[in-house]
């Protein structure tokens, strides 16, 4: 029987200094929301001062907490630019995916296969593969760019869905957890926002 663990320390690892900067610039910058979602129910954190909204959800599936047990999971998410009053452009987006902990090093998968090309296409958008190593992947939106966002409207850019399948090298514990983390960065009209989410086993 599989045990599915949701985020043990769920939420964004936001930088308070960055939030203060964003608050000061809120009158001129677009609202950028970075969301990561999986089929499980999402928990939302909203910063009303900056207009930055983070929605985190996810799971790590582990067959049993024993050496050699299967570890599987999925990264997915999106970046959204919402304009107020006038139109802006979404000028760029990057996303990183990383696994760590007591697991066998493995390639992260796109469409259930290792990535061997320098680009991938997801939801009609081309992403450049900036780094592709064991347990780590970094992608940057290549085209189409820029993406126009209408005045008083919003545009969402889904991140490519990435999966993983590996095994435990030792029993996971609170001192030695399996960790799956993704971080997205979005640039719009000179404003850049970054936020990440993570899921842990055991919680």
User: pTM of this prediction?
Assistant: 0.76
Domain boundaries along the sequence of the chain:
3-201
Residue range 2-54, pLDDT digits in tens: 444 333 344 444 444 433 333 333 334 444 445 444 333 333 323 332 233 33
**From CA 151, how far away is CA 131, in angstroms rounded?**
35
pLDDT in tens, 161-188: 999 999 999 999 999 999 999 888 887 7
Q: What pLDDT was estimated at residue 153?
A: 74
């Amino acid at each position: 029987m599989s045990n599915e663990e949701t985020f043990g320390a769920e939420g964004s690892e936001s930088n308070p200094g960055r939030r203060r900067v964003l608050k000061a610039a809120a009158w001129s910058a677009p609202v950028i929301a970075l969301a990561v979602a999986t089929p499980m129910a999402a928990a939302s954190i909203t910063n009303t001062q900056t207009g930055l909204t983070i929605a985190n959800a996810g799971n790590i599936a582990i067959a049993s907490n024993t050496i050699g047990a299967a570890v599987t999971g999925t990264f997915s998410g999106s970046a959204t630019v919402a304009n107020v009053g006038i139109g802006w452009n979404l000028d760029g987006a990057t996303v990183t995916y990383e696994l760590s902990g007591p697991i066998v090093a493995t390639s992260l998968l796109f469409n259930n296969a290792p990535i061997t090309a320098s680009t991938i296409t997801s939801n009609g958008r081309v992403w450049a593969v900036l780094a592709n190593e064991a347990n780590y992947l970094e992608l940057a939106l290549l085209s189409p760019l820029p993406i126009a966002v209408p005045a008083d409207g919003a545009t969402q850019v889904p991140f490519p869905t990435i999966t993983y399948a590996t095994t435990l090298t030792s029993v996971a514990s609170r001192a030695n957890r399996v960790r799956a983390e993704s971080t997205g960065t979005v640039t719009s009209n000179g404003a850049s926002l970054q936020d990440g989410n993570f899921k842990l086993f055991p919680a």
